[in-house]
Amino acid sequence: GSLIAEQSIAGTGCVRYRPDGRLVASAHWDGSVRLWSSRNLRPLAVLRYHRDSAFALDFGEAGVFATGSKDGSVALWAVLSAE
């Protein structure tokens, strides 16, 4: 199984790769959004904003991505590179 599935986290509503392929984001039924290294699938961050299931996400330009939730909220996130 995938490392994401093996982390004992709430169900997953959506998974997307960042266009440069270096980062994976996943939206979960507990409302959390998680960031993963695509190189080794190690967890990098847990983002919390949504009050209900997060089920949609997509990456845009310049490190920005959006998530959507069953509670009707949309969140915009900026991911800064360490480089």
Exposure string of 50-76, with b = 16+ CB inside 10 Å and e = fewer, is beebbbebebeeeeebebbbeeeeebe
9-32: b or e for each residue (b if 16 or more CB lie within 10 Å)?
beebbbebebeeeebbbbbbeebb
Contact between residue 38 and residue 48 where contact means Cβ atoms under 8 Å apart: no
| pLDDT one digit per residue (tens) for the chain, 83 residues | 444 444 556 689 899 999 989 999 999 999 999 999 999 989 999 999 999 999 999 999 888 999 999 999 999 999 876 55
Residue 37 neighbours by CB under 8 Å, 6+ apart: 22, 23, 24, 44
